[in-house]
Amino acid sequence: MDFVVVNENKVRLVVLWVLVLGIAFLFVQHWTIPAFLMIDFYLRGFHNGKFSLLNQLADLVESKLKIPNKPIDRAPKRFAAQIGFLMTDMILIVSFLGLDDAAIYMDAVLILFAFLESAFSICAGCHVYTFFKKIGINK
């Protein structure tokens, strides 16, 4: 825990946009989608996320729809964003290498995790974070 609180509902909105972009990549398979996601995950995972376009879009939707605040600790969500950064990094690299099937499989994993988080509030990266904390691996 880093004792910084974020709105879980807003995080789920951000991940919904990740889900939409991940699905879009399945159809167009253009490198710009994982590149955009990689930058956005980087901003949210390694910085405070205020420059993340997906974060800003979620802010807009949150305010327009008056979505309630559901406080949750930021640390596991940041760790999950860091994993997302690595995944989109790999998708981008294998796309540039022409390994389209590998890119699609990796994107499918990203889509699965984004779906679980946005639809059911099941954060796979958060579970990994918690496991690491329990066994004493400090992040």
Digit-coded pLDDT (tens) for 46-86: 988 889 999 999 999 999 999 999 999 999 999 999 999 99
- The whole-model pTM stands at 0.91
* pLDDT for 138: 64
Cβ(79)–Cβ(125) below 8 Å? yes
The region of weakest confidence among 58-72, 89-103, 124-138 is 124-138
* pLDDT for 45: 94
What is the SS3 assignment for 73? strand
Q: Give the chain's mean pLDDT.
A: 93
Closest CA to 13 of 59, 52, 48: 59
Tell me the two tokens of residue 7.
């709105």
Digit-coded pLDDT (tens) for 84-93: 999 999 999 9
Cβ(82)–Cβ(41) below 8 Å? yes
Helix runs in 47-122, H state only: 53-65, 74-96, 100-120
Whether pLDDT at 139 is above 60: no
Whether pLDDT at 1 is above 80: no
* pLDDT for 135: 87
Cβ(76)–Cβ(117) below 8 Å? no
Which amino acid makes up residue 28?
A: V
